[in-house]
């Protein structure tokens, strides 16, 4: 990760609330995240961690309030603006997210056949502990290894914002520690890393914690 990370970002939530199918999920969350922050969205199961993560990723609409990215009100963004934002700045690390099982590990990281054999990919595979696995099919990977493909994509992209939903939930202790260290390194290189998680060990590594329990109605 010697290359300088993506551009400086600020995400601001102003009193956001979400209602899904008539049910209030959370209300009036206000907070700001900046490049270099590692942020945990915490709370008991069903309290809205994934929903808030999706709001911040502009996937889930909000009922009221606003989300500003670098001062721009995202409620005014059309689909084209959002696609540009995702393409340019964001990476999502969800369990098995976007893994194409009958493609190689390298292709799953680059999503571009012409780049799959590049030196950058080899370096990143070393970094995430998948060295020499580039031409294996993704179907043979364990859950922890698939999770690391997501992180490898974020590193290759120099993603400015990394969204991860329960990135350590299905991992053994060793893989959990690897994933936590990689995410921390992404944040210290200047990414905003936003994690929906109930893993206390991961939460303790975050410099910002947004607890949803106290925001429930
Ligand atoms: N598409 C949906 N339709 C109906 N209810 C939903 C939908 N998405 C989320 N919910 C509800 O919103 C609440 C919060 O869900 P979620 O954000 O997944 O919680 P968490 O990630 O904290 O476990 C839950 O009660 C869930 O059932
Ligand atoms: Mg969830």
Residue 130 CB contacts under 8 Å (≥ 6 apart), including other chains? 105, 145, 148, 149, 152
Q: Is the pLDDT of residue 78 over 80?
A: yes
Binning the chain into helix, strand and coil, the percentages to the nearest 5 are 35, 25, 35
Q: Is the pLDDT of residue 115 over 90?
A: no
Residue nearest to atom 24 of ligand 1 (CA): 46
Strands (E), 95-175: 161-165
Length of the chain: 217
Q: How far apart are CA 144 and CA 142, in angstroms?
A: 5
| Residue whose CB lies within 8 A of the most ligand 1 atoms, among 29, 41, 48, for a mutation test | 48
pLDDT category, 214, cuts 50, 70, 90?
low
Q: Is the pLDDT of residue 6 over 80?
A: no
- The secondary element (H helix, E strand) that includes residue 128 is none
Please state the CATH superfamily assignment of the domain spanning residues 10-215 in this structure.
P-loop containing nucleotide triphosphate hydrolases (3.40.50.300)
Beta strand 10-20 with 23-34 is: antiparallel
When mean pLDDT is compared across 48-52, 103-107, 127-131, 194-198, the lowest value belongs to 127-131
Distance, CA of 82 to CA of 177 (rounded, Å): 33
Q: Which one of the ligands is nearest to 49 CA? A: 1
| Cβ atoms of 69 and 98 closer than 8 Å | no
Give the whole-number percent of the chain exceeding pLDDT 70: 95
Confidence at residue 2, expressed as pLDDT on a 0 to 100 scale: 38
Cα-to-chain-centroid distance, residue 66: 20
116-162 residue pLDDT tens: 888 999 999 998 999 999 999 999 998 888 989 999 999 999 999 99
178-206 average pLDDT score? 95
pLDDT for 130 equals: 93
Ligand 1 centroid – CA 193 distance (Å):
22
pLDDT at 116: 84
**Region for residue 152 given its phi and psi (left: phi exceeds 0; alpha: psi -120 to 50; beta: otherwise):** alpha
Give residue-wise pLDDT tens across range 156-191.
Answer: 999 999 999 999 988 889 888 999 999 999 999 999
Q: Are 164 and 196 a contacting pair, CB within 8 Å?
A: yes
- The answer to whether the Cα torsion of 126, 167, 173, 208 is positive or negative is positive
- Compute the distance from residue 116 Cα to the ligand 2 centre, in Å: 32
> Range with the lowest mean pLDDT among 1-10, 21-30, 176-185?
1-10
Domain assignments of the chain as residue spans, ordered by start: 10-215
- Ligand 1 pocket check: which of 42, 46, 166 to mutate, most ligand atoms within 8 Å of Cβ? 46
């Amino acid at each position: 990760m010697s290359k300088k990370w993506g551009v400086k970002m600020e995400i601001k939530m102003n009193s956001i609330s979400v209602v899904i199918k008539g049910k209030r999920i959370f209300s009036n969350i206000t907070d700001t995240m900046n490049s270099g922050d590692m942020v945990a969205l915490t709370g008991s199961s069903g309290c809205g961690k994934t929903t808030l993560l999706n709001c911040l990723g502009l996937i889930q609409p909000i009922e009221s309030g606003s989300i500003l990215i670098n001062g721009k009100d995202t409620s005014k963004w059309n689909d084209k603006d959002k696609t540009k934002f995702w393409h340019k700045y964001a990476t999502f690390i969800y369990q098995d997210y976007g893994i194409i099982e009958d493609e190689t590990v390298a292709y799953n990281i680059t999503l571009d056949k012409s780049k799959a054999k590049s030196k950058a990919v080899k370096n990143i595979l070393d970094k995430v502990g998948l060295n020499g696995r580039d031409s294996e099919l993704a179907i043979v990977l364990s859950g922890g290894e698939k999770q690391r493909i997501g992180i490898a994509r974020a590193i290759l992209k120099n993603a400015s914002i990394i969204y991860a939903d329960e990135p350590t939930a299905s991992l053994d202790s060793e893989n959990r520690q690897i994933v936590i260290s990689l995410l921390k390194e992404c944040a210290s290189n200047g990414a905003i890393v936003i994690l929906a998680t109930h893993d206390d060990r991961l939460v303790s590594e975050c410099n910002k914690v947004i607890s949803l329990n106290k925001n429930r109605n």
